[in-house]
Structure 1
Amino acid sequence: MMTSPPDSPPPVSLLQGAALFLDFDGTLVELAERPELVRVDARLAALLERLRMKLNGRVAIISGRSVDSILGLFGPLPITIAGSHGLEVQSYDGKRSLPERPVALDRILQTMTDFAHTTPGLLVEEKPFGAALHYRGAAHMEDAANALARTLADETALHLQTGKMMVELRVGGGDKGSALRRLMAESPMRGFTPVFLGDDDTDEPAMVAAAEHGGAGILIGAPRESSARYRLPDVDATLDWLERACEGAA
């Protein structure tokens, strides 16, 4: 449930006794015109490794990207990754669980691709269990993109997910909140206090889940209605805070 806009920065002591959950795009890296243009630099890679060590493995990425997309950016990453909004999970030891891919996705991808070819700036992103239509490069197409997605959702009964300058159809039955709850029930997260960092509407279920477990959400970006308790203004401030908080984490 949304609350008033948070505007207090998180204390650096927040990671003491915490299980840390991190969104990726817009939280750890700046958003890019195309998802494949994002790069992970040495600072971020080193920071995740320090956090993993300080928190004894209690670090997870929960992203709308696929697990393979995250691994393609970082390389081998011995932390838990919940990809596709939590539909696929690869644990820190490399074991992966996957849902079944619906046949309807092939038709959805083709329909979105045909639609995108009519307007420069539209981009279709194929995911293992979903298809996303990005209109960051053609903002005037927002209404048309959302109308198409609603029609396809009605026809296929797949889950409709909106986000920053994009709309996605994907397998239902989970979101970032259910992913956080699932991971909190397992080792090494079980028994610790969840802290979730995210920037988008798709991150709100995880903010709620963190609060339900006695933890807190941290909104990244401009003030807006959110279930987060704290806020950091941008990606740079997020990395700065994580580096400071890491020093006192245990």
Structure 2
Amino acid sequence: MLRTLPLWICVLLAGILGGCSVAASPTVTGVGAGSKSGTTGGADSSGQILAPLEQGDRLLDAPGSGLRLTLLAEGNEARYRAQEVLARLRVPNEAVGRTKDVSGAITLDSTGTVIPGQSKITVDLRQLASDERLRDRFVRTDVLQTGRFPNAEFVAREIRGIPWPAPATGDFSFQLSGDLTVHGVTRSVTWNGSGRIGGGHMNATATTSVNITDFGMAIPRVVTVLSLEDAITLELDVRAVTG
């Protein structure tokens, strides 16, 4: 969401897990479930031991328990990457806008199925910033119209790739599908991500691509930009705790 405009959004995550550091002992608890210690293995940059996922190493051992992942107040970031050609350079350039104002949660039931009513990620588009103030102002006021549509929201509806019951520690990849709303328009998107779980935390990063025009926005036409591609990439880095 961009080089001359992000769509960002998004939002997502949700069962996400990224390559951030995790806290102390590799023990995670599920909603209404007890905790279980994970096995040991390789260590991340902080020295935290995180093992590859193993069949016998499960986060949830109580029948009927689910899992809720709540984003932390800090450590999250949403980005858009847009391909443009600036008039002053006349060569391809990648515009990157980002915001750390990302909040929300993802909830899975006892079968590992997403509960949409409890799984929403919100991104404050008013805080998007790139390396060009003029671009940022134009994107916020003329493209995203953040005065009317301040947030981008992603409601998760399906997650694939994560073993269930969820593991206590390890690295894995996933796909998170759902509805992304930007500029008052909702479209179905799928995020492709990877992450790490351990110490009661899940860190993840995910990406998806969307077209600016699919969300009711026109491709910006300004004298400083010769061209801007309709397709943009959205990225999301999140840090979540279980509870």
TM-score range, shorter chain: under 0.3
Q: TM-score, normalised by structure 1?
A: 0.26
Q: Which has the higher strand share?
A: 2
Structure showing greater relative contact order (alpha-carbon pairs closer than 8 Å, 6 or more residues apart): 2
**Higher helix proportion:** 1
Larger Rg: 2
